[in-house]
Amino acid sequence: MRAVDEPTWISLRDTLLSERDSFLTSAPSLAELSSQVHPQALFDWFSDLHEDTQPGLTKAVAYFVEHKKWPALTRNEQAFMLLRLEWAVSLANGISACKGILDPSLDIPEEHMLEWLLIPSWDETGMAQTQVGLDLAAECLDACLAADDDCDCAAEGENEDESEDNPETGAEPEGTE
């Protein structure tokens, strides 16, 4: 039988959710930080920012694990810590759903698991997945910049040969005869 204070993946997720929520109120978004970055330079900007913030965030996680509070972080570090926290929440939540495959209780102290979720798991997988998403967004933006007309990246993959008739009414678009 598990001890009452023994951590579980769900308790880790809940801890991480609480920390993420506190960062949501103060951390700038990546969109805010990158507002002056040309879309074609977004991937490089993100990679450079990650590299610049990584040493400070590694120290910040160690501090958090020991003191249960965050040290002062720069705006860039806050934004990247928010990404790490969102990654860690998703991972802990996914692992907690693996009942029968993984033991839902942890035989490792919570501090070590928090550190693992926020540093090595981010470095090995979380950062790569985030970069893939940015790469896809940059490709879409490149296509939009190259297009002569407005581009809706969210509509990518829709049939370009659709009739100009309004599908709901069968009427032609306004202004045509």
Those residues whose C-beta lies under 8 Å from the C-beta of residue 101, and which sit 6 or more positions away, are: none
pLDDT at 77: 95
Longest dimension (CA), the chain: 76
CA–CA distance, 84 with 77 (Å, rounded to integer): 10
The pair of three-digit structure tokens given for residue 149, joined into one six-digit string: 């007309």
The pair of three-digit structure tokens given for residue 22, joined into one six-digit string: 């506190």
CA–CA distance, 11 with 5 (Å, rounded to integer): 10
CA–CA distance, 84 with 64 (Å, rounded to integer): 13
pLDDT over 60 at 119, yes or no:
yes
Tell me 104's DSSP state: S
Judge whether 42 and 138 are in contact, CB under 8 Å.
Answer: yes
CB atoms within 10 A of CB 137: 14
Q: Which has more confidence, 67 or 112? A: 67
CA–CA distance, 139 with 134 (Å, rounded to integer): 9
Query: What are the domain boundaries of the chain?
Result: 9-155
**Token pair 């296509």: residue:** 143
pLDDT over 70 at 3, yes or no:
no
pLDDT over 70 at 2, yes or no:
no
Judge whether 49 and 77 are in contact, CB under 8 Å.
Answer: no
- Model pLDDT for residues 133-175, shown as the tens digit of each residue: 666 666 666 666 666 555 555 544 444 444 444 444 444 444 4
- Model pLDDT for residues 35-87, shown as the tens digit of each residue: 888 777 877 888 899 899 999 999 999 999 999 999 999 999 999 999 999 99
Give me the mean pLDDT over the 17-24 stretch. Answer: 93
pLDDT at 29: 86
The pair of three-digit structure tokens given for residue 82, joined into one six-digit string: 């928010």
Going by C-alpha positions, the residue among 62, 65, 73, 67 that lies closest to residue 27 is 73
Tell me 106's DSSP state: -
CA–CA distance, 23 with 118 (Å, rounded to integer): 14
Give me the mean pLDDT over the 15-23 stretch. Answer: 93
**Token pair 């495959």: residue:** 101
